[in-house]
Structure 1
Amino acid sequence: MIVITQKQYKEILDHSMQAVPDEACGLLGGIIENDIKYVKKVYLLTNTDHSPEHFSMDPKEQFAAVKDMRSNGWFMLGNFHSHPASPSRPSEEDKRLAFDPEASYFIISLMDDRNIVLKSFNISKSEVGEEKLIIEGE
């Protein structure tokens, strides 16, 4: 299970909407208590591919995010990216590039702007399981 705040959800949504028609991306830093992941900070990164179908995170921004996580005593809990025109489920490329079975992979679908969908997944050897995601008040 992973927990984010409404504010963090809005950060992910706003970043993703601003990137349209391209995919947006970022990292999730936080803590783990009693097997529950708590996101403490969302790191909004640049998709250097500038593509609506895939993303690559800016390496300098990734390094700065990981450095900030370490300085706060947090872990990298996972990442997020948007699907501007497809459902909130891992694509074949998403599965192929998922190297950490412990990570949470957030995908936010913007294909229906009246029904934005954010889901979290665990991916291991192309096996996909939806992770319980809780969005708490502020």
Structure 2
Amino acid sequence: MNAPRPLAPQSLRLSLLAWSVAIAAGIFETALSLTAEVTAGATVPDLLPALLSRVALYLGASLLVLALRGGRRWARTVLTVLLSLLGLASLAVPLTLEALAGQLPALEFLTVRLLHIAAVLIATASMYTSAATAWLRGR
């Protein structure tokens, strides 16, 4: 009989939760953006490419989080490069430039964006604790 697999350490479980929050925040941001675009007169065909790319992005992110949950060390690396570095830059740089220009987005969008950024930072830091690293190495 196989021995039960040890649970992921608390820090890695926090990372998984934070990644889930980040994904949910990204989906909510997408809904807010699309609603604003439709209100401004955009049509579904106009928005379809952006919507499909976001669906692919968040589906891919979800699959990476599931792979990390399953103990796949490569998923941590991919999450770091794609979401912690590139994704975070795509969230923070435009927001910073808008703030410097004195043009902050609507409060609800700003709130969700800041939650999204915080969740990515927490998720990234939590998946690199010594306990998380040891658990992933033991997989």
What TM-score, normalized by structure 1, do the two folds share? Answer: 0.26
- Structure index of larger Rg: 2
Pick the structure with more strand per residue: 1
TM-score by length of 2: 0.25
